[in-house]
Structure 1
Amino acid sequence: MYNTEYKAEFEKHGIWFEHRLIDDMVAQVIKSTGGFVWACKNYDGDVQSDIVAQGYGSLGLMTSVLVCPDGKTIESEAAHGTVTRHYRQWQQGKKTSTNPIASIFAWTRGLAHRAKLDGNSKLASYCELVELACIETIENGFMTKDLAICIKNGDASAVTEADYLSTEDFMNKLGEAVEAKIVGNNIVSRL
């Protein structure tokens, strides 16, 4: 199918398709610098996306969006399961530093799709502003422990409490950034 239907169009754009077995592709991912799209079967995608996310950042930043062929229905999720351990710690009265970015982006991606379906430009702008506020907050040095560990080259022992915020403090910092974006862009919150 690729050769007959897509190859010429791909070549016009300087891209190509090649089939690889999963073990060969995993090895390629580990030694590569990226720059490719990796389409996987469901199980392979579930397993390998976690490896890629952890190897090149944090599971707390990974979202997943599934799109139906009709383009009208999507499923957007935070594609990880790290919260249970943190929740148990919180139940014990311990301070946590849980990264909410993937959960926030799951919501913004879902709401952005709703905005697209409804032609709601204000909602679409709001989603963009929330995501931008999250990114800028982290780029400005306010982050959760998982990201602080990434900055210290994966060395958790090099991270001190001064390097990251607790869950609550990080959420408050994100809230401040979102509110500043809303005010700065004349979007009136209906909450």
Structure 2
Amino acid sequence: MSDFIGDLDTLAATVRRTAQQEALAKEADAHRRAETIVAEAEAEARRLHDEIVTKARARVEEERRQRQAQAALAAQREYLTAREALLDRVWQAAEAHLRALPDTPDYLEILRRLVWHAVGTLGPGRLTLAADPKGHALLTLDRLSGWSQAASDRFGAPVAFERAPNPAPTWGGLVVTHADGRRLVDATFPTRLALARDELRSSISALLVAS
């Protein structure tokens, strides 16, 4: 009987040890799982943090680029506005100066220089001159005869100027047409002023950049 009781005690002790071992194993396993879950949660938190920071930085950089682009566009618009305003003022002053020339004593000499320039472009020959109404009246037969002789001497070939029947529809300068009818030089003030506008725009652009 005592042996049986001893066996029961041994069995109970074995059961208790087994239960304790299983409990300890389960506790250790639960602890490991908890540590794994915590580690995964921390890793996910770091990943989310890094993702949020990266996206925030990207948004900040994009906003910075947009602000820079907007500032550059505003500066470009301001530059173009200033350039055109200055160009308009210079243009108006130049046009006012040219419009006053037909009423000055120097206008005849200005016409002669324009005619000489036209001969250099068209070459010698018979050339018809049509000036603005005031200039046209200055192109008398005697004056054109003298110019023809002087131009022939200068260019080394016969040059004959004649006045067109009607003035040119312009407020200054003249149009010179070659006898072949295919070539002409438009030396009117409006045309020369228009041709100078692009060059003037480049000069003003350089001036604005330098300032």
Identify the TM-score tier after normalising by the shorter chain: under 0.3
The TM-score with structure 2 as length reference comes to 0.23
* Relative contact order higher in (CA < 8 Å, ≥ 6 apart): 2
* Higher share of residues assigned helix: 2
- Which has the higher Rg, Structure 1 or Structure 2? 2
